[in-house]
Amino acid sequence: MKSLKGIGLLIISNILIYLTLSITVRVLVNMVLPAFGIDVRGAFSQELLVWSLVIGFGGAFISLLFSKQMARAMLDCTQITQPRTQAEQVIYGSVREIAERLHITMPEVWVYDSPDPNAFATGPSKNNAMVAVSTGLLANLREDEVKAVLAHEMGHVFNGDMFSTTVLAGLMNTFVHYISNFVYQTVAQPQGDREEGQSGSPILGFVVYLFLQVVLSVLAMLVVSWHSRRREYAADAFSAKVYGKESMIKALQAIDRWVNRAQFEYSTQDALATMKISGNTSGFLHLLATHPPIEERVAALERL
């Protein structure tokens, strides 16, 4: 019931966002801009807005629908169905225990080959998800710390983070597609040129289109990354409720020690660090990180 209510609210909110955008754009195009001598009414297209929604949300939800398959295809991973070792029993047993507590379908449990301590959860819904941990996580964390990380990932599953992130990404994709195409149509063939049967500036329009695609995509990534960092705190709090905050704190500190040691030994920055648990990036990359810095997450846990 809680998940249905959440999905319903997300759908309603996005319908309201669509209506608000549609009305706002119409008022802006038909009333506000003409008052300042700017006439782009012929460039506005309701069909473009609808098509942008289809493209934006369609791509995002297709990615969500096949997220488990894509994750397995990109990783050298093995599914655990019958635990054969103590480590596999810890992973499988923890996920099963938490799923039973939450009354949800147990996610698929996978282990993938990677030296860095990391874990993730994905899937189209909380009853159709997968949880995967790296061999590096098992090698560098103690049993209670591994269980805390698994509880964190199960928090993502239970909170519906994959779905909410997809909706936000779809909305951002819609903005990017609509604005870039709207400007392209305006530059490539302005209203006056269309009425006189003349051509606009298609080359300039295409250059502006590419520029806006890049700039707006980066801005969209900032919004999605900000949302991702917010949800990490909620998943940490969920783990603290399940196994206690000390276990999650120790797990984060163990991961932080590994990251610092690895960067010292290899004198390099992981190109994928912005997408991993460590989240220890600086400057502009911090705004693109999907995980907050570990010290901030530890501080948040200690305040619980």
Q: Under a CB-based contact definition with an 8 Å cutoff, are residues 289 and 225 in contact?
A: yes
Cα–Cα distance between 201 and 244 in angstroms, integer? 62
Q: Under a CB-based contact definition with an 8 Å cutoff, are residues 114 and 166 in contact?
A: no
Residue 212's contacts (CB-CB under 8 Å, 6 or more residues apart) are 176, 179, 180, 183, 184
Cα–Cα distance between 160 and 154 in angstroms, integer? 10
Q: Torsion angle, CA of 18/8/128/99, rounded to 10 degrees?
A: 140
Task: Find tokens 């890049």 and name the residue.
Answer: 214
The single-letter DSSP state of residue 29 is: I
> Using only C-alpha atoms, what is the Rg of the chain?
23
Positions annotated as catalytic residues are 153
Where residue 7 falls (left for φ over 0; alpha for ψ -120 to 50; beta otherwise) is alpha
Cα–Cα distance between 288 and 264 in angstroms, integer? 23
Residue 156's H or E segment, with its range, is: helix 143-159
Q: What are 186's two structure tokens?
A: 């305006």
Q: Under a CB-based contact definition with an 8 Å cutoff, are residues 155 and 190 in contact?
A: no
